[in-house]
C-alpha cells in the first residue's frame, strides 16, 4: 500500500508535500498528486519539515539553516531518502532563465523543444552545472505533458559525486525536475524502475495551464540600452511564435508617446528597431502579446545624449568593506581610457574590442577609501564615477567635532559624491541620504510656503539647459538666475510636482553649501 503525499505546483508547478497526517497545503496554482511506496523512503523532507529533522541533518554535516537556503536556492520541495538502496529522490520546481525563455515546453514547436534538449548535451548549460548527460530523450506523458528522460552522472572537481535518472521539463515558467540520485555505486535498471514507479503516479487535478494565467515568455539577447549616444537601437530576442511586440517611448519632459511594433517569426525570433526623436531621458515600455497568454510588460529608463560615453557596471565597490579586495568591473565602448584614482595613486587602462574593464581595489587595511574612475575617449564627454567606502569602525564623532568649522566643511566637500545624472535618476535609492556635489546653472528660484526652491541645470544643451536637480533650503540662498555655482546637498528623493504640472520629477537635494564658480573655472568632472 502506498503512502499518499499531496503536492501543489505554484503557478502550475510549485510542488509541496502532504504531511503524514494527509493535511493538504493550500497554495495558488495547479494541484497534483504524487505517491511514494510505503516504508521505502525515510525521512521525507520538505521546507516545512527540516526543523523537525534537525538531528538527521546534523548527522550529515549540515545545519537546518544551510539546508533551508539550499532548498530555497535550488527550488527543492521534496527530498526523500531510500538508504537501503543508496537512493535520494529530489523534486524541485525553480523559476529560472529557462522558465522565462521557454514558458511551457508543451506550448513550443518541435524546433524549440530540440533547442531545449540540446541545452542538456555536452558543453551545454546543464553540463556547466556539473552534469554529464549520457542520454536525454523526450517523452509525452498522458495528462502531464512532455518531460526529458535523462540519465547522467554528476561531478564535483572532476570526480563523480553521484549518478542518476531524472525527468525534467519547463511548466508554466518553472523548471521542474524529478531526480532519482544514486550514491556510491553505478546505475542499474532498478533505479530507473524506482523513479518510474513514483513518476507514473504524478497526476494533475486539471489540465496543464487550466485556470492559470501564464504570461508570455521573453528572452532578450539585446534589450533597450540604459545609455546611448545613437538615436536608433534594435531590441532582439526570442518569445512566443507570432507574438506582437510594441515598444512605447515617452520623453521625461513630454507626454507625447511614440510606438514601434514588430511580430515574432515562426520560431519566436524578433527584431524591433526603435528611434528616439531627440536627446533626453525616456521611459520605454515593451509590451508582448500572444494569443491565449497573459500580456507581458517590461519598462526601461533610457538616456540619449550624443556626447555620452555609455558605461555599465557589473561589479561595484560597496559602502561597507569586509573583504581584502574587491573588483570594479563593467563595459563601455572600445578604445576608452579608464583611470582609477585612489588617494595619490592612479592606474590607467584602455578597453579593447570586448569593451570590458576591470580594476582590483585592495582594501585590507582599515580606514576610508575614496575611489574615482574616469572614462575618456575622443569625440565623447569624459565621465567620472566615485565611491566612498569604509573598512572597520568609523571615526568617533568627537574627533570630527574638534575640527575647525572651515576644515570640517572642506572635508565634507571632499567626501561628497558626484554620480552621473542618469545614475542619480536610475539609482535614487542608492544615493538617498548621501552628500552630493554638482556644478550647474541656476534656472529658477522660488519661495514656496516658507521654503526656498532652486532649479539647477547641470549642463547646457543646444535647446537650452538640461539635467535639472531641485535644491531646497529654509534660508534664502540669494542665487541669481543664470549664475554658475557649485552646490553640496543631501539627496532626499525625487521631487514630485502636482499632477497637472508640466515639469516631471527631478532629484531633490537639501542644500548644505553653495559656492560661486568664477567664469574661468572649470566645473568639476569636465
Q: Does the pLDDT of residue 211 top 60, yes or no?
A: no
Q: Are 41 and 171 in a shared domain?
A: yes
CA dihedral sign, ordered 348, 353, 356, 358: negative
Q: Are 295 and 315 in a shared domain?
A: no
Q: Are 34 and 121 in a shared domain?
A: yes
* Residue 399, in any domain of the structure: no
46: left (phi over 0), alpha (psi -120 to 50) or beta: beta
Closest CA to 55 of 47, 65, 64, 46: 64
Residues 232-255 pLDDT 10s: 999 998 888 899 999 999 987 777
Cα(112)–Cα(133) distance, integer angstroms: 19
pLDDT confidence of 397, banded at 50, 70, 90? very low
Q: Average the pLDDT over each of 214-223, 243-252, 496-505 and give the range with the smallest value.
A: 496-505
Q: Are 14 and 150 in a shared domain?
A: yes
- Domain of 247 in residue numbering reads as 218-304
- Domain final residue, candidates 341, 367, 394: 394
* Residue 140, in any domain of the structure: yes
The answer to whether residues 240 and 138 touch, using CB atoms and an 8 Å cutoff, is no
Q: Are 456 and 378 in a shared domain?
A: no
Mean of pLDDT values over 312-329: 90
C-alpha cell at 253: 519632459
Q: Are 229 and 377 in a shared domain?
A: no
The answer to whether residues 258 and 272 touch, using CB atoms and an 8 Å cutoff, is no
Residues 172-192 pLDDT 10s: 777 889 999 999 999 999 999
* Residue 407, in any domain of the structure: no
* Residue 212, in any domain of the structure: no
What long-range pairs does 187-192 form, CB within 8 A, spacing at least 24? 187/151, 187/163, 190/85, 191/85, 191/87, 191/164, 191/165, 192/151, 192/165
Q: Are 141 and 179 in a shared domain?
A: yes
* Residue 135, in any domain of the structure: yes
Mean of pLDDT values over 23-34: 41
Mean of pLDDT values over 401-414: 41
What mean pLDDT value characterizes the chain?
Answer: 81
DSSP string, 232-244: EEEEEEEESTT-E
C-alpha cell at 400: 570630527
Q: Are 106 and 19 in a shared domain?
A: yes
* Chain-centroid distance, C-alpha 355: 21
Q: Strand, helix or coil at 148?
A: strand
Residues 43-52 pLDDT 10s: 988 888 899 9
pLDDT confidence of 405, banded at 50, 70, 90? very low
CATH of the domain at 416: 2.40.50.140
CB atoms within 10 A of CB 367: 12
Over the range 220-258, which residues count as b (16 or more CB within 10 Å of their CB) and which as e? beeebbebbbeeebebebbbbbebbbbbbbebbeeeeee
Closest CA to 342 of 367, 377, 310: 367
Sheet of 345-350: strand order equals 320-321, 383-391, 367-376, 337-342, 345-350
Q: Are 317 and 432 in a shared domain?
A: no
* Residue 526, in any domain of the structure: yes
Mean of pLDDT values over 301-320: 89
Residues 462-492 pLDDT 10s: 556 778 899 988 888 888 888 888 898 888 8
Residue with cell 534537525: 54
- Domain final residue, candidates 204, 239, 255: 204
| Amino acid 425: pLDDT | 78
Q: Strand, helix or coil at 100?
A: helix
pLDDT confidence of 214, banded at 50, 70, 90? low
Task: Give the rounded percent of residues in the chain with a pLDDT score beyond 70.
Answer: 82
Task: Give the rounded percent of residues in the chain with a pLDDT score beyond 90.
Answer: 37
Residues 100-156 pLDDT 10s: 778 788 877 788 888 899 999 877 788 888 899 999 999 998 878 899 999 999 998
Closest CA to 231 of 301, 279, 272: 279
* Residue 106, in any domain of the structure: yes
| Amino acid 463: pLDDT | 58
* Residue 387, in any domain of the structure: yes
Q: Average the pLDDT over each of 110-124, 127-141, 324-338, 363-377 and give the range with the smallest value.
A: 110-124
- Domain final residue, candidates 287, 304, 321: 304
pLDDT confidence of 166, banded at 50, 70, 90? very high
Q: Does the pLDDT of residue 208 top 80, yes or no?
A: no
CATH of the domain at 357: 2.60.40.10
Cα(249)–Cα(300) distance, integer angstroms: 9
The answer to whether residues 493 and 508 touch, using CB atoms and an 8 Å cutoff, is yes
| Amino acid 98: pLDDT | 85
Q: Are 22 and 89 in a shared domain?
A: yes
Q: Are 195 and 248 in a shared domain?
A: no
Closest CA to 204 of 24, 9, 21, 2: 9
Over the range 406-418, which residues count as b (16 or more CB within 10 Å of their CB) and which as e? eeeeeeeeeebbb
Q: Are 372 and 267 in a shared domain?
A: no
Domain count, the chain: 4
| Amino acid 234: pLDDT | 97
Q: Strand, helix or coil at 85?
A: helix
pLDDT confidence of 395, banded at 50, 70, 90? very low
Amino acid at each position: 500500500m502506498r503512502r499518499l503525499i499531496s503536492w501543489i505546483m505554484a503557478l502550475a508547478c510549485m510542488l509541496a508535500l502532504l504531511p503524514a497526517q494527509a493535511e493538504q497545503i493550500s497554495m495558488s496554482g495547479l494541484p497534483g498528486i504524487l505517491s511514494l511506496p510505503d516504508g521505502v523512503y525515510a525521512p521525507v523532507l520538505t521546507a516545512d519539515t527540516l526543523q523537525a529533522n534537525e538531528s538527521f541533518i546534523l548527522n550529515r554535516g549540515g545545519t537546518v539553516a544551510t539546508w533551508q537556503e539550499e532548498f530555497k536556492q535550488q527550488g527543492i520541495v521534496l527530498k526523500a531518502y531510500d538508504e537501503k538502496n543508496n537512493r535520494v529522490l529530489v523534486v524541485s520546481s525553480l523559476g529560472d532563465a529557462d522558465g522565462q525563455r521557454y514558458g511551457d515546453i508543451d506550448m513550443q514547436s518541435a524546433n524549440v523543444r530540440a533547442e531545449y534538449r540540446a541545452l542538456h548535451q555536452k558543453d551545454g548549460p546543464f553540463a556547466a552545472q556539473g552534469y554529464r548527460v549520457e542520454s536525454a530523450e523526450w517523452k509525452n506523458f498522458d495528462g502531464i505533458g512532455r518531460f526529458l528522460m535523462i540519465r547522467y552522472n554528476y561531478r564535483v572537481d572532476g570526480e563523480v559525486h553521484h549518478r542518476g535518472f531524472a525527468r525534467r521539463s519547463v511548466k508554466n515558467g518553472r523548471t521542474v525536475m524529478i531526480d532519482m540520485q544514486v550514491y556510491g555505486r553505478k546505475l542499474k535498471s532498478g533505479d530507473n524502475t524506482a523513479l518510474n514507479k513514483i513518476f507514473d503516479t504524478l497526476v494533475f487535478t486539471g489540465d496543464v495551464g487550466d485556470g492559470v494565467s501564464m504570461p508570455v515568455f521573453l528572452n532578450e539577447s539585446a534589450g533597450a540600452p540604459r545609455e546611448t549616444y545613437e538615436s536608433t537601437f534594435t531590441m532582439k530576442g526570442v518569445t512566443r511564435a507570432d507574438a506582437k511586440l510594441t515598444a512605447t517611448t515617452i520623453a521625461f519632459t513630454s507626454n507625447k508617446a511614440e510606438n514601434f511594433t514588430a511580430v515574432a517569426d515562426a520560431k519566436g525570433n524578433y527584431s524591433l528597431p526603435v528611434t528616439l526623436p531627440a536627446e533626453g531621458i525616456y521611459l520605454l515600455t515593451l509590451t508582448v502579446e500572444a494569443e491565449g497568454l497573459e500580456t507581458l510588460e517590461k519598462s526601461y529608463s533610457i538616456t540619449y545624449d550624443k556626447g555620452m560615453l555609455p558605461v555599465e557596471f557589473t561589479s561595484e565597490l560597496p559602502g561597507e568593506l569586509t573583504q581584502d579586495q574587491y573588483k570594479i568591473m563593467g563595459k563601455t565602448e572600445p578604445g576608452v581610457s579608464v583611470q582609477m584614482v585612489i588617494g595619490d595613486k592612479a592606474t590607467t587602462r584602455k578597453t579593447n574590442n570586448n569593451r570590458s574593464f576591470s580594476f582590483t581595489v585592495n582594501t585590507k587595511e582599515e580606514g576610508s577609501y575614496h575611489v574615482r574612475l574616469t572614462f575618456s575617449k575622443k569625440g565623447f564627454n569624459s565621465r567620472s564615477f566615485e565611491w566612498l567606502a569604509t573598512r572597520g569602525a568609523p571615526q568617533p564623532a568627537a574627533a570630527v567635532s574638534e575640527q575647525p568649522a572651515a576644515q570640517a566643511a572642506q572635508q565634507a566637500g571632499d567626501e561628497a559624491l558626484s554620480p552621473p545624472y542618469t545614475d542619480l535618476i536610475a539609482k535614487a535609492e542608492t544615493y538617498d541620504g548621501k552628500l552630493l556635489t554638482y556644478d550647474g546653472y541656476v534656472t529658477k528660484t522660488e519661495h514656496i510656503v516658507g521654503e526656498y526652491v532652486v532649479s539647477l541645470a547641470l549642463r547646457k544643451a543646444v535647446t537650452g539647459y538640461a539635467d535639472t536637480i531641485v535644491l531646497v533650503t529654509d534660508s534664502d540662498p540669494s542665487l541669481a538666475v543664470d549664475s554658475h555655482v557649485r552646490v553640496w546637498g543631501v539627496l532626499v528623493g525625487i521631487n514630485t510636482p502636482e499632477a497637472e504640472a508640466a515639469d516631471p520629477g527631478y532629484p531633490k537635494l537639501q542644500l548644505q553649501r553653495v559656492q560661486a564658480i568664477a567664469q574661468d573655472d572649470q566645473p568639476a568632472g569636465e
